[in-house]
Amino acid sequence: MKTESTHQEILLVTGTSFSSREWSQKDRDCKNNFSDREQLEEACYNGLLEEMLPEIFIKMPAEKKLYLWDIKQGNSFIELELGEIPGETDKLASIDPYSFLHLQKLS
């Protein structure tokens, strides 16, 4: 029997005021050489995603948790893949534009 698991994709657009915030620095006086994109990725890896975007998180039962499995970089966004377990994303159901745009027919 196939078990159902929760999978969530999030696209964070880079080059915006949201992505340029200082998310990941715990010591604000400390200078770093990371780009805005790298700081945003670091904040996601450090578990600050739910704090940054509480309104988009699925309320899960206490025994289930979503984990950040992958961060993919696009030209103007980063894609976060969360889930209970790692798994393949259905390309036709994905919000990643690189996964479905080549399937669109030109009119």
Dist CA 83 CA 64 (whole Å): 10
In tens, the pLDDT along 43-90 reads 888 888 888 888 887 677 777 788 889 999 988 899 999 888 887 777
The pTM for the full model equals: 0.75
Q: How confident is the model at residue 38 (pLDDT cuts 50, 70, 90)?
A: confident
Domain boundaries, the chain: 7-103
Tokens standing for 103? 């399937």
Dist CA 71 CA 88 (whole Å): 14
Q: Return the pLDDT at 105.
A: 61
C-alpha closest to that of 42 among 95, 3, 104, 33: 33
Residue 97: pLDDT above 50? yes
**Residue 39 Cα to chain centre, angstroms:** 13
Three-class DSSP category at 82: strand
